[in-house]
Each structure stands twice: as C-alpha cells, then as structure tokens.
Amino acid sequence: MNLDITSISAIVAAAGVLVGVAYYTLDLRHNREAKEMELSRMVISDVQSEQGAQRWATIMNLEWKDYDDFMQKYSSRSNPEIFSKWSSQFMTLDTIGFLIKRKVVKAETVYEIGGAAAIQTWEKYKGIIQHLRNEGSHQDFWSNAEFYAQEMLKIMKKREQHK
C-alpha cells in the first residue's frame, strides 16, 4: 500500500475529526451529569435544610383520627401555621416528583441524597390527600408527590433485594 502525502494528511485529518467528536460527546455527557447533580442538590436542598427538617418533623408528629379531625385541626382556616407546613412540604415533594417524571433528574440520584423520606411522608398523608382528591375536582392533586414516593419505594425495595 503506497500512501502519498495527500492521503496521509486526509487520514490524519479524519482521525482528528473523530477524536474531536469523541471528546465533544464525552464533554457533553459530563456537563449534562454535572448539571443534573447540581439541579438535584438544589431541588432537595429545601428538604435537607434546617427549616425543611423542622417542617418535616412537625408534620410527621401531627396526629388525627380521620379526615374531618385533620381538617378541624390543620386546615388553612383552623391552623394557618401548620397548614403552611404540611402544604409546603407536599408542594416541594410534588415539584421533585415532577422533575423525576420528566427525567430532568434521576430518581436514583434523588434517592441517594435523601429522597427516601418521601415514602414515610406519603404513607402518613395519603389518606388525607386521597380524600382531598375525591372531594374536589382534582383527581391528580399532588400526584407527582405520590409518583415521587412510589419511585423511592421501588428503589428501596430493589436495593433490599440486592443485599
């Protein structure tokens, strides 16, 4: 095989293009992963903050007999301070669930940085939320929060099987 200078320079140029494309692809992947990690940390930072931890502890220690008792004790009219805590917690969970559903962040990443608490929160409040759904016209009320909790539960069960 006889190669002249033109052929060699064409091969070198083609190899350079391939190396450039490979580098660009790896760089894009790295940047996407870095952005996802930053977004995940930003989204979960509210839940992990001292204020978020206090809010979560407060709502997890609330007690009620049934839906009517809950509303009598913790609705926006009867107790605006507590209402703001449990509703803002679910707004946060709903936002995180939306981002997971849209694949903006990975469920596994959120789980790793503290997402498992969503399971407990959902389990405690699901009866109240289901009642709110049935009572109103919003059958999907906080459905992304439910999705979030279900995704965290799937990951937890999967990991328990692999122990």
Global pTM value: 0.76
- How do the pLDDT tens digits run along the chain, 163 residues long? 566 777 667 676 777 777 777 776 766 666 777 777 777 677 777 777 889 889 999 999 999 999 999 999 999 999 999 999 999 999 999 999 999 999 988 899 889 888 889 999 999 999 999 999 998 768 899 999 999 999 999 999 999 988 7
**What secondary structure, in 3-state letters, does 84-110 show?**
HHHHHHHHHHHHHHHHHHCCCCCHHHH
Give helix then strand counts, H and E, for the chain: 7, 0
Q: What does the block give as tokens for 83?
A: 């209402």
Taking the C-alpha atoms of residue 144 and residue 133, their distance in angstroms, rounded to an integer, is: 13
